[in-house]
A = this chain, B = another copy of it.
């Protein structure tokens, strides 16, 4: 055998090996949809890629007087992952909130609902774990909540009735609460006014980035600070509350006033977002006002400062809600569905949610297809009052369809070009009245299926 011969043989051998590896990769990737392999996340899906819609970074949140944080590693589900956060709130903190209306809600949600909104001169605490939702865990679920509340109460010297807990993660597995109890002393030793980013990271599950937001309100006596953190990425279709959201302020405000403000701003924030139409068993929003800041006491909601505070708090709530959508499982587009001209607010909401939850609209957005026909179909199925011939459909500022048909100068190329944007506004004017509603959603991509055919939630 000559040298040339040998070279070619070696080359062929190498190519053959390469081809075999390529063949094996192809087999894994191109498994026909009939096989289970085709729907299991490919290995690439396990690498956590930060959402392309994520903000540049976690915001620089200032400390809030009367609030300290600690985060730890309890090994609730996975070893070595930060999975528990503790927040200590100063004596007299007003605690308000909103929770899922799911009829199968978790024990910790029921417990929070029973405790929230009451006046108290005592301190308070919030304990949150990821990795296990303690949902649909029967009597054991309540026992876990009781054990955790008692543990925190003892560690921090508080009444158990002032300890609020949340759990997020897998449903139906018993919560190994003793693992959390065993790290409480450590957490208590680490409590720090600057620990909020670590706390935001500790409550993540399929989230790809920690979520935070802030605002300051000027008053005669000094500023009021508001900071908040949230988690949420899938199972997002809040119903009177949202995923896990914690907002802290040093404002001095009666708990009833705080609750009123929180409740009336849900409709433009957490109740106006959807990732996948699936409402969680564990949604919880807790807003704590410590009264330890220099700001003017908000004793009357008609005060200018109180109105400013409400606007600022509403802004923080909407910012966090948007961040949850920006981290929607598999999201590549952030989409506002802007409904106007509805006869009633309920109809505006119904139409907006029907469009935002339509798998056909969401896959068209993923495919950057200017498929306004699917928007029309979603309006039609919504159950809201709508007249086909009065509808106007806009993508951004472009009117695509009106008076029951596409506009005469309809420009498919321009519409398609618009769909390439990462942030989209789909406008639906019903032409019937003056009610309006915006909701925010994301597209439906292969990655949503990768994540959810694989992740046990």
Contact = CB atoms under 8 A, between A and B. Distances in A.
A23 B292 CA distance: 60
A2 B9 CA distance: 13
Interface stretch (A44-52, A77-85, A116-124): A44-52
A357 interface: yes
B276 A360 contact: yes
Contacts of A11: 8, 12
A294 interface: no
Nearest to A444: B449
B172 A373 contact: yes
A95 to B, nearest CB: 25
Contacts of A140: 405
A404 interface: yes
Interface string A371-397: 111101111111011111101000000
A295 interface: no
A365 to B, nearest CB: 9
A420 B36 CA distance: 8
A171 interface: yes
Nearest to A403: B138
A251 B48 CA distance: 62
A453 B387 contact: no
A150 interface: no
A136 B388 contact: yes
Contact of A446 (B23, B38, B171, B385): B38
A286 interface: no
A240 to B, nearest CB: 12
Given A278-B358, A360-B234, A391-B104, A376 B135 contact: yes
Interface in A1-42: 1-2, 4-5, 8-9, 11-12, 15-16, 18-19, 22-23, 25-26, 29-30, 32-34, 36, 38-42
A263 interface: no
A25 B25 CA distance: 10
Contacts of A26: 22, 25-26, 29
A30 B378 CA distance: 32
A90 to B, nearest CB: 35
B357 A277 contact: yes
Interface in A89-131: 100, 102-105
Contacts of A135: 373, 376-377
A21 to B, nearest CB: 9
A363 interface: yes
A376 B4 contact: no
A452 B359 contact: yes
B49 A44 contact: no
Contact of A376 (B34, B136, B359, B389): B136
A330 interface: yes
A445 B237 CA distance: 21
A281 interface: yes
A307 interface: no
Given A29-B29, A105-B388, 19 more contacts: A8-B11, A33-B52, A36-B420, A38-B332, A39-B332, A102-B381, A103-B387, A104-B379, A135-B373, A235-B377, A239-B381, A278-B358, A278-B360, A279-B377, A281-B380, A363-B452, A367-B452, A367-B454, A369-B456
What are the 3 closest A-B residue pairs judged by CB atoms, nearest first?
Answer: A171-B373, A367-B453, A104-B380
